[in-house]
Every structure is written in structure tokens, then in C-alpha cells.
Amino acid sequence: MKWMEHIELINAIISGILIGFGWLLDSKGNESVAIPLFLLAFVIGGYAKAKEGIEETIAEKNLNVELLMIFAAVGSAIIGYWTEGAILIFIFALSGALETYTMNKSHREISALMSLQPEEALLIKNGTEKRVHVTFLTVGDTILVKPGERIPTDGIILTGKTNIDQSAITGESMPVEREKNDEVFAGTVNGNGSIIVSVTKKSTETMFHKILDLVQSAQSEKSPSQQFIEKFEGTYVKAVLALVAVMMVLPHFMLGWSWNETIYRALVLMVVASPCALVASIMPATLAAISNGARNGLLFKGGIHLEQLSKTNVVVFDKTGTLTRGEPAVTDIIISNSIDTATFYEAVLSIENQSNHPLAKAIVAKIQEEFPKKLANMTSVDEKSGFGVRAMLDHCEWKIGKADFVGRQEALNFENGVSEKLAGEGKTIVYVVREDQIVGLLALKDVVRKEAKAAIKTLKENGIKTVMLTGDSKSTAEAIAKELQVDLFLGECLPEDKVNEIKGLKEKYGTVTMIGDGINDAPALATSDVGIAMGEGTDVALETADIILMKNELSKLTKAVKLSKKMNRIVKQNIIFSMSVIALLICSNFFQVLDLPLGVIGHEGSTILVILNGLRLLRGIE
């Protein structure tokens, strides 16, 4: 049942409600009714964390904070402080519930990645077509992929020509043309041509599965900070429990305390040494920072990612959809003097309006933006997949397409070779021909986001290196890198290439932050120390990332770094303060100058102070 996924959160909320009622009844003198409510709060709220603590202790043979919290809560109840004990249980129950919820959601989204690979393929065997499950395909089998279908497995084209949307794998912003002997990948979308493909990999060995494996592998690796926290946790718990055990016995024999005094002091120690203030040192500050970020278009998935972000030495950007908008736009229109401008636009609009190709859609959108009253005339077009279209308008033959379609030499000579300059800027060029004469061209480009330049400039001013990794061609990558002035760039990157580059940058420079938006970016996002996804990115990228720019605004990145540094300062202040208070309370208890009520006041008072200090992060990002 779906609600069972949220059972820990439901139990934590119920526990909090019971504590509230118990406190009200206890304050009115109804202790006999309040205690059963506190007991219920203990059981309902503490069951999951107690179970987790016991199982981890058995499996890892190491004590943990979960057990210490349970011991501290029980110790508080034993000496009559039910409310304090129940609150300790509630704090841990709530944080554990939120952690479990986040992990479950992440696992669901990674599983959803698998659905993008088709389950069936059209196998050609002995001249007949048969639809089979992809797991039955073997290397060397021949399959047919029809227009509009997702390619079910990695392979090589035997016959046919088409354009393929490879953005899921390589991140290329525009469909690429593929013909005989070209490689195709599982999960990519076939365009407007049927192709026959020879299978080169089993369904479990495709590039798509590599992406999934890389994400899962990187997510399972613990960060250095996490390893330190877990190590400190075990040491802290052992030290406290050892000290309590000593306090239960030694003062009676060494200092002449009575057994009542000895046990009382040991139980006070259990309460004042509980890590409640330490937990409050981090959690409220983290929640305040997350709330602050959310108001400013930043979604943080945890405090550890905020901590890591402030240590960033290198920021790696994906190009398509991150630094650029991820869709082609017309940047240049050059028309020959041999044709009337109105005639040119009318012909191009009428012909391109008949096509569903991304470039054609961009051209139509541009013309209708400049001339909103222009209407496309219906005409019959003959589309040559991978090259262009041909049509008859007013008894004239028109062709619109790439250089090889209209005549390469004529294309290169048009307007004194302007196409070479445009191509050097990373633009795709579409030529327009009327009656075998080139009368104009349109240049298209995946345009850079307006805020990208400012974001990169600010990062560099703060001593952070900027790197761009993209699946697009080297010439396109070079043009974008030059425009944005990034420190390093690499083109024609497959997902595993991005992962390897991230690992190399981590070894050379230290903490690396990666920003991307596509499925192909997910492994790199998971491998980096901090993964940041664009808000309009794919579900897998959003779930793999540690931080999400909800409004696709790169300008928020520098604000995220400032917030991260501020949170780290406050967390350090809180930890030092809470540890100092705990040490002071422990010493005061040992010297018998601290009674339980004062111990509770000191313990809870320090907790309130660190919470208030953490809540300073609710103020706007400066």
C-alpha cells in the first residue's frame, strides 16, 4: 500500500501529538494519564530508530547515536523526566522518517530510468518479422526500427538512413544523421527513416545500462565527511556509555558517595551527555538554509551537500540545456540580392511548415516572430532524410537543406564564403535554393543562456575553475567555450567520458561540482562531490542531483555557494558551543554542583540557543 512508504513520518507525527497531550496533562497534575501517553510516544516514535540502531550495532559491531538517544530517553523517564525523554525520541524519529522518504523516492526514480529502454524489439529472422523481448536478443541479431520508435539495443545500422535524437545518451542538442555502418544506442529515438540494425551488445550491456550502473555505483559511495561523521558517532557513544558505567560504580568506592547519589549522578550524566544539542546544531541550521534556498529558487537535498558546496574548487557544466537553452534558434539570415525578401520568407515558411524536424520548427518560429501576419501556403514537399526538402512553388523548384543537398561548392562560394565563418561559430547552416541557384541561408545555434556568462565570470572571480563537458562536436564545443570564456572544455563526451573527466578533476583540484540536466549527465552528477540539476531537466537528473536550480537560473549558483559558506560557519559555531556546554555540565555533575533540573535547563537551554543561531539562516542570501 502506498501510505506504508510514509509510515515512519506518520509515526513521528503521532508521537509528537501524544507528547503534546502528555505535556498538557502533566502540567495540570494528571501524571497518571500523562505517563501512558509518553509511553505510547516512546514506542510509536522510537520503534524504527531503535530497530535501526540495534540492527546496525549487530551488523557493524559498533555502537551508534540511535542507541544512545534511546538510552538517554529511557534514562530521563527512569528519573521522572518523561517529557524530555519523549522529545529526544521525537527529534530522532522525525529526522529518520524524512531520510527514509527521500531514499525511497530516489530509488523509484532510478527504477523509472529503466522504462525508457523499450522492452520489445522487431526481430528479423529468415525473412520474417517477429516481436520479441529485448532480453532474447543476442549479438549479431538483426532488428527493424521504425520511424518514431525508441531503439531497443546498441547496434550498427545495416541499411537505411535517418536522424536520431541522442540527447538521452550524449546530450547532443540536435538530432544527428545516421546511415549505414553508424553506431546507434539503446534508449535513443529514431527520427523519420526506417533502419535495420545489427545488435552489438546484449540488453544488459548497453550504454543505457552503463548509465544506470554508474549512477547506482556513485550513489553507494560515502563521502569523506559522511565517513568521518559515522566514525565520530561510534566513538562518542562508546565514550558516553563507558563514562556512565564508570559513574554507576566508581564514585561510591572512590569518593564515598551513597549508592543513591552515585546512580542519580550517572543518570544525570546520561541526560546531559545526550547528543540532543549536537543534533540541533546541524538540523535546524540545515532546514533554515533549505527553506532560504527554496525561497530563492534553490532546492537542497541535505546539509552534507551544502557543506561540500562551500569547498568547491571546480564547477563542471554540461552544455546543452545547462549553459545553452537546449533547442536550436535562428541566429543569422542572409538573403541574396537576386531575390525579393518577401518572396524568400514566404517560400521558406511554406516549405518548412510542412516538416516536423527541429531545425524546420525553429525556422518557422523565427519567421512568424518577425512577420506574425505571414501565413504558410500549403504545398507538397519531398523530404530527403538527413539532407533537406524539395518543393514546387509557383512553378519554381525550391530546395532547402545542407550543403551536400544544394551543392557543396556553390554553398561554400555563397556570399564570399560566409558559411565558413558561421560554421566556425558552432552554427548549423541551412541553404535555400531556387531553380538551382542559392538565394539565401539561415544559421541556427543552440543559444547560450543570458545568465551563463555572468555566472561563470563570478565563479572565476572567486577562484573557482570552470569546465564544460558536452556530447556535441568539438567545433561547437569550442565556439561555446570561447563565447563563455570557460577555463577548460571537452567535446564529443559520452556519459562514461564525463565520469572519467570528473574523477580526474577531483584528483587534480579537489572538490568538484557538476551541473547538468539530462539522463546522460546523471552518472557525472552522482560521481561529483556535489551534483546540481537544472529544474527543467529529466527526472533522473533531478533525483540524482544533490541540489536543483528550480527556475533554471544559473545566477542562483553563486548565491548557493554563499549560503553554503554561511551555513558552515553557523554549524561550526553551534558544534563548538554545544560541545562546550556538554563538557561543562558533565564536569558540574561530577563535582555534585548540578542537580537534574539545572542539568535539564542547561541541556535544553543550549539546544534552544543553537536552534536560534541556526534560524539566522532564514534571512535572505546576501
C-alpha cell at 416: 564570399
Sign of CA dihedral 395, 396, 401, 405: positive
* Partners of 390 in the β-ladder: 382, 399
Q: How far apart are CA 76 and CA 89, in angstroms?
A: 11
Q: How far apart are CA 93 and CA 473, in angstroms?
A: 51
Give the mean model confidence (pLDDT) for residues 561-581.
87
Give the mean model confidence (pLDDT) for residues 65-93.
73
Contact 329, 427 (CB under 8 A): no
Give the model confidence (pLDDT) of 154-173 as tens digits.
Answer: 899 999 988 888 766 655 55
Contact 505, 485 (CB under 8 A): no
Residue 541's pLDDT is what? 75
Residue 165's pLDDT is what? 81
Contact 208, 185 (CB under 8 A): yes
In which order are the strands placed within the sheet that holds 388-393? 324-335, 437-448, 428-434, 396-401, 388-393, 381-384
The least confident of 60-64, 119-123, 344-348, 541-545 is: 60-64
Residue 520's pLDDT is what? 77
Q: Where are the extended beta strands (E) located within 66-209? A: 120-125, 128-133, 142-145, 155-159, 162-165, 176-178, 183-184, 189-190, 195-199
pLDDT at 445 over 90: no
Residue 100's pLDDT is what? 60
> How does residue 59 score in pLDDT terms, banded at 50, 70 and 90?
confident
Residue 449 CB-density burial (10 A; 0-12 exposed, 13-18 middle, 19+ buried): buried
Contact 156, 197 (CB under 8 A): yes
Q: How far apart are CA 133 and CA 131, in angstroms?
A: 7
* Partners of 262 in the β-ladder: none
Q: How far apart are CA 282 and CA 288, in angstroms?
A: 10
Q: How far apart are CA 559 and CA 574, in angstroms?
A: 23
Contacts for 489 with CB less than 8 Å, ≥ 6 apart: 467, 468, 469, 470, 477, 478, 480, 481
Residue 194 CB-density burial (10 A; 0-12 exposed, 13-18 middle, 19+ buried): middle
Read off the pTM. 0.58
pLDDT at 368 over 90: no
pLDDT at 220 over 60: no
Higher pLDDT, 553 or 315: 315
Mean pLDDT rounded to a whole number for the chain = 80
> How does residue 314 score in pLDDT terms, banded at 50, 70 and 90?
very high
Contact 514, 524 (CB under 8 A): yes
Q: How far apart are CA 43 and CA 30, in angstroms?
A: 21
Is 332 among the catalytic positions? Answer: no
Higher pLDDT, 36 or 2: 36
Top mean-pLDDT range of 161-170, 324-333, 342-351, 531-540: 342-351
Sign of CA dihedral 498, 503, 508, 511: positive
- What SS3 state is found at 176? strand
pLDDT at 232 over 50: yes
Give the model confidence (pLDDT) of 503-512 as tens digits.
Answer: 999 999 999 9
pLDDT at 254 over 80: yes
From 141, 154, 318, 517, active-site residue: 318
C-alpha closest to that of 10 among 115, 94, 130: 94
What's at 370, amino acid-wise?
E
Give the mean model confidence (pLDDT) for residues 97-124.
63
Residue 38: HSE in the Cβ half-sphere, 13 Å Cα cutoff: 25
> Buried b vs exposed e over 59-81: b needs ≥16 C-beta within 10 Å?
eeeebbbbbbbbbbbbbbbebeb
DSSP 451-504: HHHHHHHHHHHTT-EEEEE-SS-HHHHHHHHHHHT-SEEE-S--HHHHHHHHHH
pLDDT at 428 over 70: yes
Give the model confidence (pLDDT) of 494-529 as tens digits.
Answer: 888 899 999 999 999 999 999 988 777 888 888 998
Residue 226's pLDDT is what? 43
pLDDT at 491 over 80: yes
